[in-house]
Amino acid sequence: MIKVGLAGLGFMGGTHAQCHAALPNAELAAVADPEQDRREKFAEQYGAKPYASLEEMLQADIDMVDITMPTYLHKDAVVAAAAAGKHILCEKPMALNPAECDEMIAAVEKAGVKFMVAHVIRFWPEYAVIKEILDSGRLGKVKWASASRISPPPTWAWNQWIFDPKHSGGAVLDLHIHDLDFLAWILGKPKVVSAAGVKTKTGGLDTVLTTMTGHESGAVSYAEGCLEMAEGQPFTMALRLNLEGGSIEFNSRLSPSLLVAPAGGGVEHPHVPQPEVPSSGSAGASGNISDLGGYFVEVKYFVDCLEAGETPDKVTPQEAKLAVELCLAATRSAETGQPVSL
């Protein structure tokens, strides 16, 4: 049984708590948040011990810390958890800049603890099926890929931290990172990043359009991200790929959401396996586990790795750092109007 301490009890904290509660091999033993009402609510709902700070929670009998705190707190939280000898799952983005990522990597290496950044799209059922199709080679090499992620503003954010680019990195680090990370994962590191963006009055790029060229696979890619759509616009994520042997399209608002068109003709809708609730789980998990999508698959993967004594390798710290570097390159390019070479 893996004893979990969860730090940061907002939107993502609530999501991760449901995942841990549904796992038969995890126990949500402790929760931390400076907001008393939040930690007491979680403590009551999940039977966890409440703490007013991460530092106090690190003294508890826990095996791992799950960090779902605002982005600007990730670096110090990971360094502190590593020093306390706890394994660490940390929400994306890893940190605000590569220097912070390096400090985190040094801290977890020194402590010898297991560490994964929660790049959930790598675990999301449709994206996972697309990765399997690419790895199978049956449609050949990717020629180009185009990704999209659009959302109304996340108005729930604690103290509005997300609207301060110094705290969140704006939509580039908060939202667009999902697609830049996935594109670099399937196509390899790009050589050049070119971007354009639209700033909001907070100074952050809350709309960004990025082209990446010179991917190791030879493909080119494009991604758009927007965190300021009108309230009535549903959150939408999409991915299109054109390959030597056909094309693939995913759109979260289509049903079926995934389409494969082989070059020889015809249309396929591959089966997309949805996460299942382990039979002995579901204590405290509310709603349908399928609604948790890739979050459940991701949290289960990390907990299972810990239980098996294995090092999680689906998202390495270096890959998570590269995702931050790609975001900062996109930001610099959008601000200067010049392409950025990596």
Minimum distance between the CB of residue 47 and ligand NAD, rounded to whole angstroms? Answer: 19
* Count of beta carbons in the 10 Å neighbourhood of residue 174: 24
Q: Is 157 one of the binding residues for ligand NAD (CB under 6 A)?
A: yes
The contact pattern for ligand NAD, residues 318-337, with x = CB under 6 A and - = no contact, is --------------------
Residue 223 Cβ vs ligand NAD, minimum distance, rounded to whole Å: 16
C-alpha separations of 170 from 51, 166, 175 in Å: 29, 8, 8
Among 174, 181, 206, 319, binds ligand NAD (CB under 6 A): 174
Q: Do the beta carbons of residue 33 and residue 39 sit within 8 Å?
A: yes
- Smaller CB separation from ligand NAD, 7 or 323: 7
- Total residues contacting ligand NAD by CB under 6 A comes to 27
Within residues 91-110, the interface with ligand NAD by CB under 6 A covers 91-92
Q: Is 181 in the site for ligand NAD (CB under 6 A)?
A: no
When binding is defined by CB under 6 A, the residue of 2, 4, 6, 9 that contacts ligand NAD is 9
How far is residue 138's CA from residue 290's CA, in Å, rounded to a whole number? 29
Interface positions, 18-57, toward ligand NAD (CB under 6 A): 32-35, 38, 53-54
Q: Please state the closest distance from residue 279 (CB atom) to ligand NAD, in A.
A: 27
CA 90 to chain centre: 9
- DSSP-derived secondary structure for 132-162: HHHHHTTT--EEEEEEEEE----TT-GGGGG
For helices 294-308 and 125-136, the axis angle rounded to 10 degrees is 70
CB of 80 to ligand NAD, least distance (A): 10
Give whole-number Cα distances, 19 to 48, 171, 256, 282, 303, in Å: 14, 26, 25, 9, 10
Radius of gyration for the alpha carbons in the chain, expressed in angstroms and rounded: 20
Residues in contact with ligand NAD by CB under 6 A are: 7-13, 32-35, 38, 53-54, 68-71, 73, 91-92, 118, 120, 156-158, 174
